[in-house]
Structure 1
């Protein structure tokens, strides 16, 4: 199960149900490439509890502006459409899961 790519027009629909981690990044971003394997593992291992989506900020600036994204990668943690937490920069898998766990239970 691969991470779903979303756009400005599909972002709200992709984050409105369940627990979703949205990664806002770009193809040229080295820290985004570093965080990708952790997000892929979370998406694979936790697919029944956590969905992961990614948005390219170069092509979808409306969403990036809406959430005040100044640096990438930025992770947005949503629960049923409500933004619960925001994390900026590279995070190891354990830290991402730790943030998610606070809001899931």
Structure 2
């Protein structure tokens, strides 16, 4: 399972390499649909990208910082900087293609 992180360790987690962050909420239907896809991709791509989750209700300050107003929102970070944002549920292949585009 993708680790759920908060403000205490967010910067440290996204600082190195390609990291995909799933901003989600426990009450969000599309987030629940995305969860198994996100987990599967995290397992498949563990050698080239890290997949982590942020609960926007528990970590509002992170969601505000990156202007996340809709869930699910996935952000791809490269070496600590956001490089791509995907809003809403997306099929596994579409997410994988976007992530692969940021891996050297």
State the TM bucket, normalised to the shorter chain. Answer: over 0.9
Moved >4 Å (runs of 4+): none
- State the secondary structure of the residue aligned to 1:78: strand
Structure 2 residue runs of 5 or longer lacking an equivalent are none
Structure 1 residue 43 displacement after superposition: 0.8
TM-score for the superposition, normalised by structure 2: 0.96
Alpha carbons 1:42, 1:50 under 8 Å: kept: no
Structure 1 residue 28 displacement after superposition: 1.0
1:36 is aligned to: 35
- State the secondary structure of the residue aligned to 2:41: helix
Structure 1 residue 80 displacement after superposition: 1.2
- C-alpha RMSD of matched pairs (Å): 0.8
Counting matched residue pairs gives 104
1:19 is aligned to: 18
TM-score for the superposition, normalised by structure 1: 0.95
- State the secondary structure of the residue aligned to 1:84: strand
Alignment of 1:1-105 (within 5 A): 2-105=1-104
Alpha carbons 1:21, 1:77 under 8 Å: kept: yes
Residue deviations 1:19-39, cap 9 Å, x none? 110000111111001011111
- State the secondary structure of the residue aligned to 1:39: helix
Structure 1 residue runs of 5 or longer lacking an equivalent are none
